[in-house]
Structure 1
Amino acid sequence: MKKIIKYGLISLIAVLLIAFGGFYIWSEQTYKPTKQLHALVNEKEWKVQDGFVVIEPKKSNGTGIVLYPGAKVEPEAYAYYSKQLAAKGYTVLIADVAFHFALLDVNKAADAKKLFPQMKQWYIGGHSLGGVAAASYAYKHQDEVEGIIFLGSYPSKSSDFTDIDMPILSLYAEYDGLSTVEKIKENEHLLSKETTMHKIKGGNHAQFGMYGKQKGDKEAKISAIEQQREMATATKQWLDELEKN
């Protein structure tokens, strides 16, 4: 009997190790920033600091933004979008999450606040599954977050903002093959009454970052630069409106 238990435990451990090894290999096969992004953002314009890719403005407006990447996407892929926000005074921290999977590192935003304690207020956002993770953090820390930015994403049912006073910006794309327009609409009831919906005509899922094509996505009808600029413009307008109020 003892031998059976012993061999059973050994077999279980072996299976778990193989499963973890497979997940680790999968998680390391990441989407990397394109050459086009590197042409738009000089590496000197960002710094890697304590688990974040940080893009700071020349003059800070006292507001920080934490972005969670999509699954298996390198944080630098969001540097151009972040650079445009930094040009308006926002300090942007793109999270380098555990195993490139934001749902395993939901509380990463807390590290950002420790890194920049001088910030007066914080917004949080994310792309795809990164948006799900950002919503989860915001739902549990409502007093610490001024608003949420969804990039081709929406909250899970466990993060229902229907009756919560939380400004939300939902940027979604016409040709998103993963977070489709249909899925965005199906989950719109989970968003707060203070939600602004912005549809990017001609855009797709992968162009919420700049990392090339993604399996399962549709072909975009606009360029990555066009989508990135529309994202940034819509985000800045939304933030400006909140500051007025």
Structure 2
Amino acid sequence: MFKRLLKVLAVGILVLLAVLIAFFVIWTQFDYKPSQEVENLGVSKQAIPKGGYLLFQPSDNSDIKGGYIIYQGAKVDAMAYGYYAQEVAKQGYLVGVVDAPFNVSFFSSNKVKEIMKEYPTIDNWFIGGHSLGGVVASSYAYNHQSRIQGLILLASYPMNKNDFSNTNYPILSLTGERDGLSTPNKISETKHLLSRNAKIVELKGANHAQFGLYGEQKGDNEATISPQEQQTQTVQHTVQWLNEQIK
């Protein structure tokens, strides 16, 4: 009787494991690919594929103000943030977009350390991320505040364990008025986790998905501004804030 019970239990575990593997394989196939707009804007020509990230460089490499590393949102192809990265790079920053396995930033949470080692002459480093990528970026920034000069959140917020509230750590939080995932209510409810030196900017008419260029996302609200307009505003606020930190 005991042996039979063990056999049934073993079979049950194998079946559960098979189901979990099948679910994971299917889940990994559903990614948000870059929209046609990314190709139309010539982003792929500017991106330099590296080991686990996409690199975007200023036109004049001798005058790099700082480095900015971006973590992708969950299941979003890294190239979807290529236009944003490209436009920030044009303003004098070396920008890397982490290209994590299965497009899940948690699998490359320490990639920033590797990237920074490749460019030892850059003194000013910043980190950021969209949605889940912002959670990963927050965690790294929280644990490396002496090395990372600031954090940029794109429709995101830190986990409770990464509470910046008692610090003056520089944080820029860009949110969308029409965001259906990192909703205005969620942003408000997690505001207490941000530092005393945090700047929160709500983009009017902006939604969640248009912080990247990958089309519509399930659960999101329809934006009342175009993807191009939201990207332009995101770049402008990012560059202005980065410049203020370096002065």
Q: TM-score, normalising length from structure 2?
A: 0.93
Given that residues 172 and 241 in structure 2 are in contact (C-alpha distance below 8 angstroms), is that contact kept between their aligned partners in structure 1?
yes
Whole-angstrom distance in 2 between the partners of 1:118 and 1:214: 39
What is the Cα deviation at residue 62 of structure 1? 4.5
Structure 2 equivalent of residue 172 of structure 1: 175
Count the aligned residue pairs. 244
Select which of 187, 192, 196 maps to 1:193. 196
Q: 1:222 to 1:115 in 2, by over 3 A?
A: same
Moved more, 78-87 or 115-124: 115-124
Q: 1:66 to 1:17 in 2, by over 3 A?
A: farther
Select which of 231, 234, 238 maps to 1:235. 238
Q: TM-score, normalising length from structure 1?
A: 0.94
Structure 1 equivalent of residue 136 of structure 2: 133
Superposition map of 1:49-128 within 5 A:
49-60=50-61, 61-128=64-131
Question: Which secondary structure does the structure 2 equivalent of 1:153 belong to?
Answer: coil
Select which of 192, 213, 216 maps to 2:216. 213
Question: Which secondary structure does the structure 2 equivalent of 1:38 belong to?
Answer: helix
Given that residues 43 and 83 in structure 2 are in contact (C-alpha distance below 8 angstroms), is that contact kept between their aligned partners in structure 1?
no
What is the Cα deviation at residue 169 of structure 1? 0.3
Select which of 169, 182, 187 maps to 1:184. 187
Q: Which amino acid aligns with 1:15?
A: L
Superposition map of 1:152-167 within 5 A:
152-167=155-170
What is the Cα deviation at residue 20 of structure 1? 2.8
What is the Cα deviation at residue 237 of structure 1? 0.8
Moved more, 117-126 or 155-164: 117-126
Unaligned runs of 5+ in 1: none
Question: Which secondary structure does the structure 2 equivalent of 1:31 belong to?
Answer: coil
What is the Cα deviation at residue 165 of structure 1? 2.9
Whole-angstrom distance in 2 between the partners of 1:189 and 1:201: 22
Whole-angstrom distance in 2 between the partners of 1:106 and 1:4: 42
Q: Which amino acid aligns with 2:151?
A: I
Whole-angstrom distance in 2 between the partners of 1:228 and 1:47: 21
Q: Does 1:203 align with 2:206?
A: yes
Given that residues 209 and 217 in structure 2 are in contact (C-alpha distance below 8 angstroms), is that contact kept between their aligned partners in structure 1?
yes
Unaligned runs of 5+ in 2: none
Whole-angstrom distance in 2 between the partners of 1:241 and 1:47: 27
Question: Which secondary structure does the structure 1 equivalent of 2:146 belong to?
Answer: helix
Q: Deviations over 1:79-128 (max 9, x none)?
A: 11111110011111111112212233322212222333332221110000
Whole-angstrom distance in 2 between the partners of 1:54 and 1:74: 14
Whole-angstrom distance in 1 between the partners of 2:17 and 2:181: 29
